[in-house]
Structure 1
Amino acid sequence: MTAHARPSRRTFLAGSAVAATGLTLGFHIPFSGDALAQAQTPEINAWVVVKPDDTVVVRIARVEMGQGTLTGLAQLVAEELEADWSKVTTEYPTPGQNLARNRVWGNFQTAGSRGIRDSQDYVRKGGAAARMMLVQAAANAWNAPVSECVAQKGVVLHKASGRSLSYGKLAEAAAKLEPPKDPPLKDPKDWTIAGKPLKRLDTADKLNGKQVYSIDMNRPGMLNAAIRDCPVFGGKLKSFDAAKVMGMKGVRKVVPVGDTGVAVVADTWWRAKSALEALPIVWDEGPNARLSTADIKAMLKEGLTAEQAFVGNEAGDVKAAIAGAAKVVEATYSFPHQHHATMEPMNAMALWTPERCEVWTATQNAEAALATAATASGLPIGQCDVHRLNLGGGFGRRSSSHDFVRQAVLIAKELPGSPVKLIWSREEDMLHGRYHPTTMCKMTGALDASGALVGLHMRISGQSILAGLNPQGLQNGKDPATFQGLNASGTEGVFGYAIPNLLIDHAMRNPPVPPGFWRGVNNNQNALYLECFMDELALAAGKDPLEFRRALLAKSPKHLAVLNAVAEKGGWGKPAPEGVHRGLSQHMGYGSYVAACAEVKVDKDGTVKVLRIVAATDCGHAVNPQQIAAQIEGSFAFGLSAALHGEITIKDGRVEQENFDTYPVIRMDEMPKVESIIAPSGGFWGGVGEPTIFVAAPAVLNAIAAATGKRLRDMPIKPEELRRV
């Protein structure tokens, strides 16, 4: 395929659908190619542009949504480039440009904590290749051996003569050179830019208001749209009376959107929203109009004892171990639907003409957004593009589905030549999410006479994300993602405990509530089920929870190392302040090993106060320790918010929570002190943004049980269950 060749619509859409599920595609990354949009400054390769004033522009294929990936990737490129960090800036290429250049930047997806770990190798090689080309250009200019030239902070030096040339003066000549085939990379121990707690590149613009998010986008002649979809899952639009609102000030058009929604377009969004609220709409609520959370729970409860289930991890003979156990311990846990609740609700701006369709939006997967836009526009993919902007929160919602992009394009098609910005109201965003899947789990443990765990059956009953988003990704009907953190091997989550007889299986039960990837995904509930039950087993065995885990993790040194680290710093085994109790948890997911020790106080009225959390992370390599610490703190805020408050309930086929008054997030006075232990052991690349979420809730729940003697098994935490008379 040439650099300009385009795959067929079918091929591209299929590839984007795979990417949207969190899987990655294999590709070769060349280090040179066509100039990006005929830029005046010649690029050295796809990743690096050096301007005449020595400014280094690093192109970022992943997206920034607060997690620091933009700065981390720029650090990796700048490290190998030997750039002057004070002169480094970044820009986003578009998925259309990527497609036109045979996917030179590879995967545009930012999800599953893969932003750095899945692209670090080829972006580093991009920086290394550019450095070698700059050095070669200088050697050519001086007619000197390249071995006598060295790059240092944006300058190439000729050691013998003391001559020097800046990157800006060498860029044009370097861009004409043949790129090296496989440039060698630095040993991380020699890093001077990567691995350091450098200031983020996006902070200043956020503080001074220069940062433009998708919701802020503006263009001359722009119109605004507000939308309402049928509030009942599976329902459709039956009718509406546009004449009732067309006379309202600023209203331009009322249009149906697909077969489920209707939008009002006006000169301002508030006028569009006000007209939409006044618009008479009749819904066909469909077959789910009576659905309730109780119905869903009954469906899941049935799966706990069903004959058929998909096996995710198995060893020995669990039935025999349980039958012959000195003591059998059983417990059933549940995890509710939860919403992403991003601060920036879903939105997109689209401009459609018969010749071209362009979209400006916040997306975690720009290639999937482009595929969605192309389908909705009815135009060839090569005549469409998506312009990426930083996200006001993603958490998986802007990766799971691009329904808001489809809607924006469909609305813009009704007003050719006019840019139309669609913004979901907070209520619309709450009612039409792609929710964290709901599951239940029945745990059965077998202890021998000495209190050792000799058997464990973990039956999960509940939703499959892939069944809802990408059924083609199922493996003979099984969703492998359901078993995150419970696998025998692999980077997405390894079950570290050595238990001779083990069975972890899944009875798939899919209620008509659309599931999606929610920060941490299935690791969240799997860690909670497993780590809380480990405490229950330790109690039944008459053993300390730390020692009980240590015995089971003896053959999993990385799991054990982070657990020991938090136990030591958290003061496990030492007296806690009066009324304060501790809880532990550990887990492995997205390539990283994490653990937490929580300190909790429970008042007589059942109010839970999380005072302190010590968190350890082994992510292999730490690109920016300061960002990792911030991510750990942020992930605990997100995880504790879910543990304390996060529950989406269904009544009459629709979500009951419509705003933050009924779906609250953690407040500043609820946030504990977080102490981070960043302990990269090297030799692998793990994720950071999601892993520590896994251990937040179970550590707190274990501490609550230690404080009250009551075991909470249903999320979120309900103070009334802890109230003491």
Structure 2
Amino acid sequence: MFNGRKLSALATAAATPTLSRRQFVLGASLLGSALLVGCRMQADDSDAPAPSGAIKPSAGSPFEAYIAIAADGIVTVYSSQFDMGQNSYHGLATLVAEELDVALDKVRVEGRAGNPKWYGNLAMGGAFQLTGGSSSMPSSWERYRKAGAAARELLKQAAAKQWQVAIGELSTANGEVVHAGSDRRAPYGSLIAAAAPLPVPGEVALKDAKAWTLIGKDATTRIDARAKSDGTQAYTIDIRLPGMLVATVAHSPRFGGKVASFDATAAKAVPGVVDVVQISRGVAVVANNTWAAIKGREALQVTWDDSGAETRSSDAMFTEYEALSKQDGKVALQRGDAAGKLAKAAKTLEATYRFPYLAHAALEPLNAVIHKDGDRLHIHGGLQMPDAVQAACAQIAGVKPEQVDLHVMKTGGGFGRRAVADCDVFVEATEIAKALDFRAPIKLQWTREADMGGGRYRPLHLHRVRVGLGADGSISGWQHHIVGQSIMAGTPFEAMMMKDGIDPTSTEGVADTPYALPDIDVRMTHPASPVPVLWWRSVGHTHTAYVMQTMLDEIATATGQDPVALRLALLPADARERAVLSLVAEKAGWSQPVAAGRFRGVAVHQSFGSYVATVAEISKTADGGIRVERCVVASDCGTVINPDVVRAQIEGGTGFGLSAMLGEAIALENGAPTARNYDAYRVLRIDAMPTVEVHMLPSTASPTGIGECAVPPIGPAVANAIFQATGKRVRDLPLLKA
């Protein structure tokens, strides 16, 4: 999402819940660049028995943030990363279990939020908590392994003291400390009281990679596999609290529209409707159940003020964008003399690309649960950006941020949608609860139509490219103008992220191209619109990779070069793209003739520190269409923690990117989106999903992300294959129009 940039302004005051007694809690904190690891036993004044499971961290010490070991040997990992299906919880469990020498089935993971000092994203500077930018494992790689290793050493210290033996004679295995000389064994749970008062090791040795039994191994069952399979996994949509009311919101059908007036008479007549209240972004209908809230909203009569609303169609916006692409824009990259070289080129290639608005279309629509208990405000939901939610909702509710308790729920998909600077769904839920004087818990549930028609789209973009070719086939000048809305403009990120009026999320993948293009000029223009936009899985790489990789293919065709050979010739000798490109070419049989009736294309791209190359193989259907039959994908994401998770993310990312390339689009008519459900928004169906073969490049480098990185290359790989099949270039997406 944020591509590793520091967004420290989001750091807010931390809320620190209390710790129950007789629990051994291990954690770590940052002091400058040093990671401090420690543990302690904390008792309270209550006579109540200690819980058998893990508990929340204490406010008393920064050494209580990451791991809890209970008397029954169950290890609970407190996750700084939000899990929305990308299996970050399983990754953290693997890191801790590896160093702590426990079986994965003895590990539980709970989301934690409310303390950026403990849970700040280290891949983004550590000042705020955020799950995004494919940074969960890079941020956690050392932090959670060191926590597990420190816990292991503390338990060995405790056993050595009890048995009066040298610590060097002890080892750990399967949740026990073992003394080889006497064959004595002590389960971890039996040692927690003895371990708690011991000093925390200043430095802990992490396991050598040769000793790993979990990291990099395929034989690991995901810790949430059973719950997700048998339906016991709880999501925000499943929350039921005593006396809870359910709300839906009527938003303006046009982006930027505001409430002029409303008549709640018919809505209040719907059985089950409790109240109708106006909030900052619309009118909320509150009811005893979801169905009554939906029917009440349908009966609600609202008059909208569209004086500041978007009224253009998508086609009109593209026409304006194309005119802007022919004017001067802000310079994003200028190297050599692109204009001069183009003027002297033997041949010129010109192309204009159009990319529509895209919805995130996650399976679980947006939702949040808010309730107040005394002076404590409780927030349940998909907390992808918890510090911002805590601060925004505290202000609305009239409490301090430290009085806001965040309950992190797993979520049925995110793709960037739940990391919103203005915390839209949480703010709406809090406003509704406040309007009702917090007399009952409120679940705000957006319907599918509200979710898909509510904006926060991947921005509509247009690219205009001119490439000059010399008589010898060399590239002689590259001019590239990108036109599209800025994601960062008007948000707290603008001052930190934008430079000279350019949003880097629009130019990433072009302005930082790895290819040897000595004469290149990249310009950017950011038109304004009331349509709210947001990062979408792999952000700007979704369109920049498409343009770069299809233009390279077009150059290869025009100059009679092999597409793989051309890319290799243009990449520096040390470029990591080279290895994945060579690997995918080998595994796809690129040097061999493709099977009769099949056509293939290739693309390679780096995003979020990872490198992915894809070869797509397609066929033509009887009705003149195309079918993607096979995708071979090679990746370099550093050390692979969970191969099965990486494989799943690449398979899912390939389907996600293919879906956008083939059929997804949010079109506007008179400023209103026409697609509001899956019937009109064409996500990929299972029968159109190709076979995906995944190959991971061995690496000893620190892990980088993989959740987003397979999305960018699939679209251009398919487009390049389509050219081989039909002789036509696909520059106006999606391929299949509604």
Check whether TM > 0.5: yes
CA offset digits 1:155-185 (Å, max 9, x no partner): 1122333322111111222222222233232
Alignment counterpart, residue 31 of structure 1, candidates 31, 37, 41: 37
Supply the AA of the counterpart residue of 1:505. Answer: R
Shift of 1:619: 0.4
Asked if the contact 1:498/1:555 (under 8 Å) is kept, the reply is no
RMSD: 2.5
Report the counterpart of residue 432 of structure 1 in structure 2: 454
Residue 360 of structure 1 aligns to a residue whose secondary structure is: strand
Spell out the pairing of 1:154-553 with structure 2 (5 A cutoff).
154-197=175-218, 198-258=220-280, 260-311=281-332, 313-352=333-372, 355-401=375-421, 402-415=423-436, 416-469=438-491, 470-473=493-496, 474-488=498-512, 495-553=513-571
Asked if the contact 1:252/1:265 (under 8 Å) is kept, the reply is yes
Asked if the contact 2:40/2:197 (under 8 Å) is kept, the reply is no
CA offset digits 1:408-442 (Å, max 9, x no partner): 11111123231111101111111113100121112
Please, which moves more after superposition, 328-337 or 172-181? 172-181
Report the counterpart of residue 107 of structure 2 in structure 1: 88
Shift of 1:369: 2.2
Q: Distance in 1 between matches of 2:317 and 2:419?
A: 25
Supply the AA of the counterpart residue of 1:369. Answer: V
Q: 1:177 to 1:403 in 2, by over 3 A?
A: same
Alignment counterpart, residue 159 of structure 2, candidates 132, 138, 146: 138
Asked if the contact 2:464/2:482 (under 8 Å) is kept, the reply is yes
Please, which moves more after superposition, 598-607 or 400-409? 598-607
Q: Distance in 2 between matches of 1:100 and 1:453?
A: 49
Q: Distance in 2 between matches of 1:66 and 1:654?
A: 30
Residue 137 of structure 2 aligns to a residue whose secondary structure is: coil
Report the counterpart of residue 7 of structure 1 in structure 2: none
Supply the AA of the counterpart residue of 2:453. Answer: L
Residue 288 of structure 1 aligns to a residue whose secondary structure is: coil
Residue 707 of structure 1 aligns to a residue whose secondary structure is: helix
Supply the AA of the counterpart residue of 1:59. Answer: Y
Please, which moves more after superposition, 469-478 or 424-433? 469-478
Q: Does 1:48 align with 2:61?
A: no
Q: 1:342 to 1:153 in 2, by over 3 A?
A: same
Supply the AA of the counterpart residue of 2:613. Answer: A
Supply the AA of the counterpart residue of 1:486. Answer: V
Asked if the contact 1:618/1:681 (under 8 Å) is kept, the reply is yes
Supply the AA of the counterpart residue of 1:130. Answer: A
Supply the AA of the counterpart residue of 1:692. Answer: A
Shift of 1:187: 3.2
Q: 1:353 to 1:150 in 2, by over 3 A?
A: closer
Shift of 1:448: 2.0
Residue 128 of structure 1 aligns to a residue whose secondary structure is: helix
Q: 1:25 to 1:286 in 2, by over 3 A?
A: farther
Q: Distance in 2 between matches of 1:610 and 1:391?
A: 30
Asked if the contact 2:335/2:519 (under 8 Å) is kept, the reply is yes
Q: Distance in 1 between matches of 2:117 and 2:264?
A: 42
TM-score norm. by structure 2 comes to: 0.89
Q: 1:612 to 1:102 in 2, by over 3 A?
A: closer
> Could you tell me the percent identity over the aligned residues?
39
Report the counterpart of residue 174 of structure 2 in structure 1: 153
Report the counterpart of residue 22 of structure 2 in structure 1: none
Q: Distance in 1 between matches of 2:509 and 2:199?
A: 44
Shift of 1:359: 1.1
Supply the AA of the counterpart residue of 1:394. Answer: G
Q: 1:99 to 1:463 in 2, by over 3 A?
A: closer
Supply the AA of the counterpart residue of 1:414. Answer: A
TM-score norm. by structure 1 comes to: 0.91
Off by >6 Å, runs of 4+ in structure 1: 24-28, 33-39, 41-44, 100-105
Shift of 1:288: 2.7
Please, which moves more after superposition, 222-231 or 302-311? 302-311
CA offset digits 1:487-533 (Å, max 9, x no partner): 54xxxxxx221222222332222332111010010011010000000
Spell out the pairing of 1:541-580 with structure 2 (5 A cutoff).
541-580=559-598
Residue 459 of structure 1 aligns to a residue whose secondary structure is: strand
Asked if the contact 1:468/1:515 (under 8 Å) is kept, the reply is no
Q: Distance in 2 between matches of 1:34 and 1:243?
A: 59
Q: 1:37 to 1:173 in 2, by over 3 A?
A: closer
Supply the AA of the counterpart residue of 2:300. Answer: L
Q: Distance in 2 between matches of 1:459 and 1:26?
A: 41
Residue 75 of structure 1 aligns to a residue whose secondary structure is: helix
Alignment counterpart, residue 118 of structure 1, candidates 139, 149, 163: 139
Q: Distance in 2 between matches of 1:310 and 1:385?
A: 45
Residue 183 of structure 1 aligns to a residue whose secondary structure is: coil
Q: Distance in 2 between matches of 1:622 and 1:354?
A: 46
Q: 1:13 to 1:686 in 2, by over 3 A?
A: closer
Supply the AA of the counterpart residue of 2:639. Answer: H
Asked if the contact 2:41/2:193 (under 8 Å) is kept, the reply is no
Asked if the contact 1:33/1:101 (under 8 Å) is kept, the reply is no
Residue 569 of structure 1 aligns to a residue whose secondary structure is: helix
Report the counterpart of residue 80 of structure 2 in structure 1: 61
Gaps of 5+ in 1: 1-10, 18-23, 489-494, 721-725
Q: 1:600 to 1:525 in 2, by over 3 A?
A: same
Alignment counterpart, residue 701 of structure 2, candidates 680, 683, 686: 683
Shift of 1:151: 1.8
Report the counterpart of residue 11 of structure 2 in structure 1: 15
Q: 1:719 to 1:570 in 2, by over 3 A?
A: farther
Shift of 1:718: 3.1
Asked if the contact 2:108/2:223 (under 8 Å) is kept, the reply is yes
Please, which moves more after superposition, 296-305 or 209-218? 296-305
Residue 467 of structure 1 aligns to a residue whose secondary structure is: coil
Asked if the contact 2:254/2:311 (under 8 Å) is kept, the reply is no
Report the counterpart of residue 8 of structure 1 in structure 2: none
Q: 1:442 to 1:99 in 2, by over 3 A?
A: closer
Report the counterpart of residue 19 of structure 2 in structure 1: none
Q: Distance in 1 between matches of 2:528 and 2:40?
A: 47
Supply the AA of the counterpart residue of 2:365. Answer: P
Supply the AA of the counterpart residue of 1:15. Answer: A
Q: Does 1:702 align with 2:724?
A: no
Q: Distance in 1 between matches of 2:684 and 2:637?
A: 27
Q: 1:547 to 1:228 in 2, by over 3 A?
A: same
Q: Distance in 2 between matches of 1:234 and 1:534?
A: 39
